[in-house]
Amino acid sequence: MISNKENNQALGQEEIPYTFRLPIINFAKSLLQSAKENFIKIVGVGLLGGLLGLVVAYLKPVTYQAEINFFVEDSKAGGSSLMSMVAGQFGLDVGSLTGGNGVLGGDNVLELSKSKQLLQKAMMNSSFPEAGKDSSYSLADKYADVMKWKEKWKKSKYVGYEVSFAVGKTNYTRIEDSLIQVMMKRIVEKELAVSKPDKKLGFYTIQLETRNELLSKLISQKILSTTSNFYIDGKTGRLRKNLERLQKRVDSLGKMVNEKTFAAAYSNLDIMIDANQAMAESNASAEIKSKDKTVANIVYGELLKNLEVAKTSLIQETPSIIVVDETKLPIKNELKWYWAIFWGGSFGGIIALFLFNKRKLA
């Protein structure tokens, strides 16, 4: 017969609350026990993993990462209110001069910098200073040589010749276009990173990692310059066109004002020479020319005001892209042999520990 004391003890054991920490604690104890029992084996596997990591570091091509930090200053917000006050004094609408807000914002620089089309433009139109090569040797040519693709393409049955991406070359074959797209895809997806470290600030970072340090630096610089030009042209393109049209009208009207001035002067001179008051036609002609001159001067003055407002607005609308910091040569390679040993040994030791623990539980 079971006593009351034994019943109470059994009930007490059944009432122990279950917590989610209990399996974790048991698993941690099991791992610790396995580590104690198989310490020598785990260390041996870790050393083997470190050795494999060292081999990988030796066989893996050395890469160099170039980094550029830049700042986008867009003074449009402050400039719009200033221009509204200035233009309001002349009864002008700045919005019609600036051409609206446009679709390009500061954060769009991130996507523009990763554009394959702009990347292609940057690499195809820029030379690489290589000994023994002329100025037509482009960044794309150097990239293909560094990746040893040109030798592979020349021996391939699908290409079969030495591909060139010379600066200024405009006509590419179907195969060359395909090779260019392969190159751009690899850079954008595996080697190029564009980020905005702080969402509240206007700082951006371009990071590019290739197998040649000078190539990494030059490509990152060309990406920034090409993106900057495209961004600024997109922000101010319509305003610049409006300014050019207005400038042509001002020049044309200025020429007409000069002609009217000379015509009015000659008419007055004719009246002075022939002072016959019966010559009413000459007086009327002189009056008309004088009026035309006055009207032309008034219109010309208003156009000059509009032109100055448009010029000031263009200055206000043009964003500034300022390089804050960039990588200097020489660039340190990314993979260190001691980090390869550390991560290889750690990975090997952890895998060994879990395998021994699994065998123990089984």
Q: Within a domain: residue 89? A: yes
The pLDDT value recorded for residue 177 is 92
Q: Within a domain: residue 269? A: yes
Residue 81 binned pLDDT confidence (cut-offs 50, 70, 90)? very low
Q: Within a domain: residue 7? A: no
80 and 30 within one domain:
no
310 and 254 within one domain:
yes
355 and 224 within one domain:
no
The pLDDT value recorded for residue 4 is 52
346 and 222 within one domain:
no
The pLDDT value recorded for residue 233 is 83
The pLDDT value recorded for residue 137 is 93
Q: Within a domain: residue 231? A: yes
Q: Within a domain: residue 13? A: no
pLDDT of 341-350, one tens digit each?
A: 788 888 888 8
53 and 77 within one domain:
no
315: pLDDT strictly greater than 60 = yes
Q: In sequence order, what E strands does the chain have?
A: 64-73, 192-195, 203-210, 320-326
291 and 235 within one domain:
yes
Averaging pLDDT over each range in 77-91, 152-166, 275-289, 338-352, which range is the top one? Answer: 152-166
Mean pLDDT of the chain: 76
Q: Name the residue type at position 10.
A: A
The pLDDT value recorded for residue 183 is 94
Average pLDDT of 98-105?
Answer: 44
Q: Which DSSP string do the residues of 299-359 spell out, in sequence order?
A: HHHHHHHHHHHHHHHHHHH--EEEEEEEPPSSPPBS--HHHHHHHHHHHHHHHHHHHHHHH
274 and 216 within one domain:
yes
| Cα→Cα distances 287→116, 268, 290, 297, 300, Å | 65, 9, 5, 15, 20
Domain hosting residue 187, numbered range: 64-326
- The number of domains in the chain is 2
The pLDDT value recorded for residue 89 is 44
Q: How many CB atoms lie within 10 A of CB 282?
A: 14
Measure the CA–CA gap between 327 and 220, rounded to whole angstroms: 10
Query: 3-class DSSP state for residue 248?
Result: helix
297 and 169 within one domain:
yes
| Cα→Cα distances 10→7, 13, 285, Å | 5, 5, 126
Lookup: tokens for 14: 């059944």
pLDDT of 166-216, one tens digit each?
A: 998 888 999 999 999 999 999 999 999 998 888 777 788 999 999 999 999
pLDDT of 29-71, one tens digit each?
A: 888 888 888 888 888 888 888 888 878 777 778 888 999 998 8
165 and 53 within one domain:
no
Q: Within a domain: residue 346? A: yes
344 and 312 within one domain:
no
Q: Within a domain: residue 228? A: yes
Measure the CA–CA gap between 43 and 83, rounded to whole angstroms: 72
The pLDDT value recorded for residue 11 is 47
Q: Lowest-pLDDT range, 10-19, 77-86, 209-218?
A: 77-86
Q: Is the pTM of this model over 0.75?
A: no
Q: Lowest-pLDDT range, 2-11, 22-31, 55-64, 111-120?
A: 2-11
pLDDT of 244-283, one tens digit each?
A: 888 888 787 777 767 666 666 655 555 554 544 444 444 5
139: pLDDT strictly greater than 90 = yes
85: pLDDT strictly greater than 80 = no
Q: Within a domain: residue 202? A: yes
Residue predicted with more confidence, 229 or 35: 229
340 and 312 within one domain:
no
238 and 115 within one domain:
yes
Measure the CA–CA gap between 122 and 212, rounded to whole angstroms: 17
